[in-house]
């Protein structure tokens, strides 16, 4: 039996997911997907914890897409989990960087099994998209060049 609310939300978030997928991000939909990626991937991963809020739509998603396209040295992996949708996968992801409070949207840079950089919602919300993009570009240039 399907739940009308769940069906409605799947329809609402579909374009929010697709925006990142079209930009080359892989969705991690289950806790196992998250563990596999975080433990097995080599190099640098950009991780966006997506959400339905306006700061994700107007700031985080466009900023991360533009930042990844602008940097000269590209991260090896682009992945995303969706807060409020895949709750277990999101909780599993957050366990990998439990030293920072959970926030969504947020952007993490993971390198060789460690959290290299984290941009929480507080550094996204209320900013201009270009500021968030430039912040991430700076972080990626620093992390990916090492």
Segment holding 6, helix H or strand E: helix 4-22
pLDDT above 60 for 1: no
Catalytic residue among 35, 53, 91, 115: 53
Predicted pLDDT of residue 4: 87
pLDDT above 90 for 34: yes
Concerning whether 53 is annotated as a catalytic residue, the answer is yes
Q: Average per-residue pLDDT in the chain?
A: 93
Mean pLDDT confidence for 34-50: 95
CATH classification at residue 66: 3.40.30.10
Q: Which domain holds residue 40?
A: 4-144
Predicted pLDDT of residue 7: 82
Catalytic residue among 20, 38, 48, 55: 55
Q: Give the position of tokens 């060049």.
A: 145
**Residue 109 contacts residue 46 (beta carbons within 8 Å):** yes
Task: Report how many domains make up the chain.
Answer: 1
Main-chain phi, psi angles of 55, to 5 degrees: -70, -20
pTM of the model: 0.93
pLDDT tens per residue, range 82-107? 998 999 999 999 999 999 999 999 99
DSSP 29-76: -SHHHHHHHHHH--SEEEEEEE-SSHHIIIIIHHHHHHHHHH-SS--S
Mean pLDDT confidence for 2-13: 82
């Amino acid at each position: 039996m399907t739940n009308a609310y769940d069906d409605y939300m799947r329809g609402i978030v579909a374009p929010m997911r697709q925006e990142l997928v079209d930009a080359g991000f892989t969705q991690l939909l289950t806790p196992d997907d998250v563990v596999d990626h975080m433990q097995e991937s080599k190099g640098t991963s950009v991780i966006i914890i997506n959400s339905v809020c306006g700061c994700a739509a107007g700031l985080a998603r466009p900023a991360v897409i533009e930042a990844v396209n602008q940097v000269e040295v590209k991260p090896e992996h682009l992945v995303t989990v969706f807060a409020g949708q895949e709750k277990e996968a999101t909780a599993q992801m957050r366990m990998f960087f439990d030293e920072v409070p959970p926030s969504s949207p947020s952007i993490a840079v993971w390198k060789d099994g460690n959290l290299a950089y984290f941009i929480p919602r507080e550094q996204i919300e209320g900013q201009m998209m270009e500021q968030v993009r430039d912040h991430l570009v700076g972080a990626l240039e620093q992390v990916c060049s090492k």
